[in-house]
Amino acid sequence: MKKIAVVGLGYVGLPLGLNFARAGAKVIGLDIDPEKTKALNAGQSYIKHISEGDVAEAVASGRFMASGDFSLVKSEAVDAVIICVPTPLTKQREPDISFILDTGREVAPYLQRGMVVILESTTFPGTTDEYLRPVLEGGSGLVAGKDFYLAFSPEREDPGNAKSRVSEVPKVIGGLTPECLKKAMEIYGIAVKNLVPVSSCRTAEAVKLLENIFRSVNIALVNELKTVYAAMGIDIWEVIEAAKTKPFGFMPFYPGPGLGGHCIPIDPFYLTWKAREYGQTTRFIELAGEVNTRMPEYVLERTIEALNWWGKPLKGSKVLVVGLAYKEDVDDERESPSYHLMDLLAKYGAEVSYYDPYIPVIKVTREHPHWAGTKSVEWNEETVGGFDACVIATAHKVINWEELAKWCKIIVDTRNAMAGVRTAPNQVWKA
C-alpha cells in the first residue's frame, strides 16, 4: 500500500487526498489549521461539495487521517508528498509563493531517499526547479533527481460540477528529470486513469496558466460585448445561446459581475510577472484583467440606472446582493466580485446586505476584512421584500427565483437567473 502525504486540505488537497484513499492508498493529510484536521478526523467536511459521508468512510477505513505534524512524512515513511497550498498575489499584484516555500521548509527535514515531491499549486514557470528545489535540497541535504524525485502536476478541480471526478480528469505531469516523471506517474497512476506526461516541470506549470488565461480572456470578451450590445439594445445572453448552436469553431463563455475564485483572477498575472524577466509583455492578459476588473462598476451603474427609473437614489437605498460565492453552487467566496460590488454600493451610500445559503457569515479575508462577521439575511418575503433593489451576483440553483420576482420590486440580474421567470415590466435590469 502506497503512503501519500497531501499538504493543504482545501478545495484541491482534500478531494485529491480522498481520491487516493478510495483508490487504496494510505493518505496523511497535513494542514496548519487545527480546526480542519480536527473536523476531518471526526468524519466532518467543511467544503460543501465534499460529503461528510465520503470523509467519514475514508477515515473509518483507516486509509485517511489528518494532522498538523509534518514529521509524519518521515515516521510514516511516505512514498510521496503532494503540495496543494494557496498562491495569492501581493497588493502589488506580484506572485506570493511564500506558502509553497514555507511548506518546502516544513517538509525538507523529513525527506528520505526515494521519496517523490510533487507541487500542484498554480504558479509561474520555473517555480518548482528554481525556487522549491533549492529549499528542499538545502533543508534535507538530498539532491533532487538523484536522492529524491521532484515534479509538478497542475490541479484541475472544478468545484460545483457534480460530474467532475478527480479520477476521471486527465492529469498533466512534468518531472525535473525523466526518472522524476516516471516516479510521479507511478504515484498518480494509483488514483487517476489518464496521465498526460510533458517534457518538464516548467511545461506543466505553463499548461495550467494557459488553461486559466484562456478562460480569463474569453470571459473578458463576453463581458465587453455585454456592455457594447446592451448599448445597442441587444441581449448578450440571447446572442450566446444562438451562437453556441454552431457545431464547430465556437465555445460559449458567459458574462458576469466580474471574476472570482482563487484561479482565474490571479493566475494569469503570474505569467505577466514572469514574462517581464524575459523582456516580454502580456497585453491580452492585462487587457482582460482591466475589462473583468471593471465589471462591478458596470453593475453599479446599472443598479443606479434601475433605481433612478423608479425614482429612487442609490444613497439611502437598501440593496441586497444575492450570492456571495464566486461561483454558483459552491461555498467558496475567495476573490468574489460580490465583495467589490458591496464595497462600491456602500461607498455611494447604499445600505448593503447579502444573502447566500452557503455562506451564513463572512469570515476574515485578506482583501475585505471589514465585512467579517456580517451575516446572511433570512430568505423570506418580509426580509427580502424590505429591500429597494436586489442584485443577483451568484445564481445558486437552490435559490427560488420565482419568489424573488414576487418579493423584490427592482432586480439587477448579472447572471441571467431571471430568464424564464414571469416578471413585471422594468422589474429586471440585466447587468
- The residues that are catalytic are 263
Are residues 90 and 42 in contact, defined by beta-carbon separation less than 8 angstroms? no
Residue pointed to by grid coordinates 467566496: 333
Of 152, 151, 149, the residue nearest 123 (C-alpha): 152
CA dihedral 307, 311, 314, 317 (to 10 degrees): -100
Cα separation, 9 vs 83, whole angstroms:
10
C-alpha dist (Å) from residue 250 to 36, 159, 256: 42, 24, 19
Are residues 356 and 394 in contact, defined by beta-carbon separation less than 8 angstroms? yes
The full DSSP string for 18-31 is HHHHHTT-EEEEE-
C-alpha dist (Å) from residue 358 to 204, 245, 266, 277, 371: 34, 33, 23, 42, 16
Quote the strand ranges of 323-414, DSSP E.
Answer: 351-355, 389-392, 411-413
Are residues 358 and 266 in contact, defined by beta-carbon separation less than 8 angstroms? no
